[in-house]
Structure 1
Amino acid sequence: MDLRAIGMGLAFALMWSSAFTSTHIIVAEAPPLAALSVRFLISGLLGIALALALGQSWRLSRAQWRATFIFGLCQNALYLGFNWVAMTTVEASVAAIIASTMPLIVGALGWIVFRERLSPLGLGGLIAGFAGVAIIMGGRLQGGVDPFGLMLCIFGALALAVATLTVRGASSGGGGVLMVVGLQMLVGAAILAVVSVLIEPLQVTVTPRLAYAFIYTVIVPGLAATWVWFQLVGRIGAVRAATFHFLTPVFGVTIAALVLGEPLDWHDALGVAVIALGILAVQLSKQKRVQ
C-alpha cells in the first residue's frame, strides 16, 4: 500500500466519520427522513449527471438492477434512515460507534450464517470489537442514553451488513460505478419520501447552521467520500480498502466531541480503541485469506 493510497484511505475515513456530526445538526432543525430524502435526491441527480458526462450508461444488467434496489433500500433508506431518526435522541458519537461495527457484523454473519472460514485473528477481532461496544454502551446506558434511538442504530447497522453480504459484484456488467451509486440514491430518496409523508410533520427551522450542515453532508460525505472510496478500491482492492473502516469510531467520536461538545470519558476512550483494533484484526484476517 503506497502513500497515496494511505492518504486516500485517511481522507475517506475522515469524511465518512464527519457525517454523523453534520447529520446531528440537520435533524435538530428538520424532519430527518424528509431531509435525508432531499439529500439523496440532490446527490443522486448530481451523481447520474456526472456519470452520463463520463459516458456511463444506465443500461444495467439484471444483477445490477437488483443490487441497486437492495442497496438503495438497505443502505440508503434503512441504514441511514434509522441513523438519522436515531440522532434526534442519541448523540452523534453513539451513532458513529454503532455504525462502525458493520464490518464486525458482516464478519460474524458470514461466519455463522454463510459458514465462511474465520482465522483465529479474525475471531479474536470479532470478540474484541463487540467487547469494545459493550464497554462503551455500559457507560452510556448508565448515563441515560435513549434505548429506542440505540435500537434504531443497531437495526441500521444490521441492514447494511445484510445488504453487504447479499449483494456482491454490483459494479460489474454494464453501466458504471458512479451510475449505480446515483441510482441507489434515487431509490433511497423515493422510499424515504413516501415514509416521510406518512409519518413526519414537515416542520423546518431554517438557519445558516442547518444550511451549512446540509450542503456539507451532500457534498463531502455524500459525493466526495463515495468518489474517494471507489478510487481507493480501484487502487488497492476492496478488502484492503475496508481496513480503513477501523478509523471510523475514532474519527466519529473525536469530531463529535470537537464540533458538538459531546462529553467523553474513559469508557469511550477504551471502548473506541478496542473496537478499532477489533475491526483492524478482522480486516487483516480477510487480507491474509485472499492472498
Structure 2
Amino acid sequence: MATSLSPPAMGPREWGLLVLLSVLWGGSFFFGKIAVGEWPPLMVVQARCVLAAGALYLVLRARGLDLKVGGAMWRSFFAMGLLNNLIPFCLIFWSQTQLPSGLSAILNATTPVFGVLVAHGFGQGERATPLKLGGVLAGLCGVAILMGPDALAGLSGPLLAQLAGLGAALSYGFSGLYGRRFRDLPPLVTATGQLSATSVMMLPIVLIFAPPWALPLPSLQAAGALVGLALVSTALAYVIFFQIMRRAGATNAMLVTFLIPVSAILLGVGLLGESLLPRHFAGMAAIFAGLALIDGRLFRRLKPSARA
C-alpha cells in the first residue's frame, strides 16, 4: 500500500485563489506606501486593524459565530495580536517611509525562514531537517545580498528600515508557532479576535504618539488606500487564506510567500514608479531558493515515489 506524504492537490480553483491572495497581500505594501505618505505609521496600523476587525465581525455574525471564547482565549488573542499584527505592522509601515514597497515585500518573504528557526529553537520536537537548514542558509544569504553595502554603512536610515522589515518577519515567525494553540477555533474567530485585540492595544499608543485630532484629514487617495488596506488586503485576504487552508492545507497555502513579492514589485513599479537595484532581485532569487528548500515538495518530486 502506498503512503503519500504530499499535501492535498491544488486544483484550478485553489491556484486561482492563491494568485488572488498574493495580489491582495502584495497590495498591502502598495496601499501602505500611499497611506504612510500622509499619516504616521501608528495611525495607519490602527485604522487597518479597526476597519478590518469590524468587517470580519460582520462576516462572523453572518455565519452564526461569535467571540464568546472565555477570558483565557482572549488573553491568547492579545498575545497573538501583538506578535501577528501590532509589532510587524508597525515595523513594516515605518520601514516603508524609507524603502520601496517591493523591497519591503521581499524582506517580508523571509518569514518562513524565521519560522523554521523559531520552531527549531522553541518548538517541542520540531528540529529542522538538513533540507530546511539549507533553506535557512539560502534565505539568510539572500538577506545579505539584499542589504549589501547598507550593512557596512553603519546604522543609517535604510539599514534600520531593512532591519525593521526583518524584525517584522521574525515576529511573524513567532506568531506562527504561537498560533497553533488556536487549532480548535474556527479560523474566522481567531482572525477577528486577534485583530480586535490589536485595535484595543493600539488605542493608547495612538492617543499618546499620534493623536488623531492633531492629524490632517487624509486625501481621497490616502483614504482609499486605508480602506483598501483594511478591507481588501486584510479582511478579504484573511477569508481567502483560510479558505485555501481548508481546501488545500497549510503547506499549499504557504506557496503564497513566493508570489507576494512579485505582486508587490509589479504594483510598486507600475503604479508608484518605484525601482529596485539588481542586487535586490538577486537577493529575492536566493530567498526564493531558500523557500523552495524549506517547502521541500520540489525535491520530493525528484525522488522515486515511496512504496510500502
Q: TM-score, with normalisation over the residues of structure 1? A: 0.89
Q: In the aligned structure 2, how far is the partner of 1:120 from the partner of 1:80?
A: 32
Which stretches in structure 1 are left out of the alignment for 5+ residues? none
Structure 1's 171 and 117: CA in aligned 2 closer, same or farther, altered over 3 A?
A: closer
Which amino acid in the other structure matches residue 206 of structure 2?
A: S
1:164 aligns with 2:176: yes
Q: In the aligned structure 1, how far is the partner of 2:255 from the partner of 2:223?
A: 33
Between 54-63 and 270-279, the greater mean CA deviation after superposition: 54-63
1:37 aligns with 2:49: no
Structure 1's 47 and 18: CA in aligned 2 closer, same or farther, altered over 3 A?
A: same
Q: In the aligned structure 2, how far is the partner of 1:72 from the partner of 1:112?
A: 22
Paired residues of 1:106 and 1:165 also in contact (CA < 8 A): yes
Shift of residue 38 of structure 1? 2.0
Q: In the aligned structure 2, how far is the partner of 1:139 from the partner of 1:269?
A: 15
Shift of residue 265 of structure 1? 2.4
Structure 1's 159 and 170: CA in aligned 2 closer, same or farther, altered over 3 A?
A: same
Matches within 5 A, 1:205-244: 205-244=217-256
2:20 aligns with 11
Structure 1's 236 and 49: CA in aligned 2 closer, same or farther, altered over 3 A?
A: same
Aligned residues: 287
Shift of residue 62 of structure 1? 6.0
Between 49-58 and 146-155, the greater mean CA deviation after superposition: 146-155
Q: In the aligned structure 2, how far is the partner of 1:32 from the partner of 1:95?
A: 14
Paired residues of 2:41 and 2:93 also in contact (CA < 8 A): yes
Shift of residue 138 of structure 1? 0.6
Q: Deviations over 1:77-113 (max 9, x none)?
A: 1111221122223322232122111111011222234
Paired residues of 1:246 and 1:276 also in contact (CA < 8 A): yes
Paired residues of 2:110 and 2:166 also in contact (CA < 8 A): no
Higher alpha-carbon Rg: 2
Q: In the aligned structure 2, how far is the partner of 1:107 from the partner of 1:71?
A: 18
1:132 aligns with 2:166: no
Q: Deviations over 1:18-73 (max 9, x none)?
A: 11111011011012212221221121112112211111121225664343222211
160, 166, 191: which one pairs with 1:148?
160
Paired residues of 1:243 and 1:284 also in contact (CA < 8 A): no
Q: TM-score, with normalisation over the residues of structure 2? A: 0.84
SS class of match (1:193): helix
1:77 aligns with 2:86: yes
Paired residues of 1:20 and 1:95 also in contact (CA < 8 A): yes
Instruction: Name the % identity.
Output: 24
Q: In the aligned structure 2, how far is the partner of 1:46 from the partner of 1:220?
A: 10
1:28 aligns with 2:37: yes
Which stretches in structure 2 are left out of the alignment for 5+ residues? 1-9, 301-305
Which amino acid in the other structure matches residue 241 of structure 2?
A: W
Q: Which runs of 4+ in 1 moved over 3 A?
A: 61-64, 112-115, 139-145, 285-288
Which amino acid in the other structure matches residue 133 of structure 2?
A: L
Q: In the aligned structure 1, how far is the partner of 2:41 from the partner of 2:17?
A: 30
